[in-house]
């Protein structure tokens, strides 16, 4: 039995995919400083020279490996926006967000990672704020963002007792009232 020969372009695509996957895993596990090009190449079962050839530098590889996945746009009323943000959090809790964790773990030691995380979070915050009530929607969107990143870090990186093994739906159920209160703005005095 013979298989079809694989083209050079396909070989390159597969090697790049292996390198990118290995880089994501290592940046997420050990951060930018400790994830060396040699370790990434070993993990990807390739030569370190190919890592540099395909990605140019460790910084450029990091930029691709830690790119946040595009998230659905927030739409609708403050109540609908709150539910969409809770659903996005639930997805981040259900499956380990390797791209985001690579950036988050590395942001404490690498300025480019800090800028990457900040840029992604601010963009998401500004978009969400358009669908929250009140004059201080930017502040409230920032609070929901901080809550989200804190829960993701607590679950996936710090592995807090209870949070690390909790059902994602249970976590969002416990946060639902708080997220809705923040999304709707201050309640009228009684």
- How confident is the model over 72-117, as pLDDT tens digits? 889 999 999 999 999 999 998 998 888 777 877 888 778 777 877 7
Q: At what angle do helices 8-34 and 48-55 cross, to 10 degrees?
A: 100
Q: Is 140 left (phi over 0), alpha (psi -120 to 50) or beta?
A: alpha
Neighbouring residues of 8: CB distance < 8 A, sequence distance ≥ 6: none
Q: Report the alpha-carbon distance of residue 83 to residue 172 in Å, rounded.
A: 10
Residue 99: what pLDDT?
77
What pLDDT does 147 receive?
A: 95
pLDDT for the residue numbered 165: 95
Ordered mean pLDDT values, 10 residues apiece, the chain (190 residues) = 78 94 89 91 95 90 74 90 94 85 80 78 89 91 94 93 97 96 74
Sequence-distant (≥ 6) Cβ neighbours of residue 114 within 8 angstroms? 107, 108
Locate the domains of the chain by residue range. 8-61, 78-184
Can you identify the CATH homologous superfamily of domain 8-61?
A: Homeodomain-like (1.10.10.60)
pLDDT value of residue 150: 94
Q: What tokens appear for 34 in the block?
A: 């400790």
- Cβ–Cβ under 8 Å, residues 137 and 183: no
**What pLDDT, on the 0 to 100 scale, is given for residue 179?**
96
């Amino acid at each position: 039995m013979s298989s079809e020969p694989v083209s050079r372009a396909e070989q390159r695509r597969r090697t790049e995919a292996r390198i990118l996957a290995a880089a994501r895993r290592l940046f997420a596990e050990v951060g930018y400083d400790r994830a060396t090009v040699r370790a990434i190449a070993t993990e990807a079962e390739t030569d370190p020279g190919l890592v540099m050839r395909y990605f140019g530098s460790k910084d450029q590889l990091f930029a691709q490996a830690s790119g946040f996945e595009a998230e659905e746009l927030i739409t609708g009323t403050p109540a609908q926006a709150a539910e969409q943000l809770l659903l996005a959090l639930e997805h981040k809790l259900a499956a380990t967000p390797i791209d985001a964790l690579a950036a988050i773990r590395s942001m404490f030691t690498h300025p480019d990672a800090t800028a990457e995380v900040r840029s992604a979070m601010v963009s998401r915050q500004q978009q969400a704020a358009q669908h929250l009530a009140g004059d201080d929607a930017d502040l409230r969107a920032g609070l929901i963002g901080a809550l989200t990143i804190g829960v993701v870090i607590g679950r996936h990186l710090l592995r807090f007792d209870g949070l690390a093994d909790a059902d994602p739906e249970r976590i969002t159920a416990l946060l639902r009232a708080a997220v809705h209160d923040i999304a709707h703005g201050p309640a009228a005095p009684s």
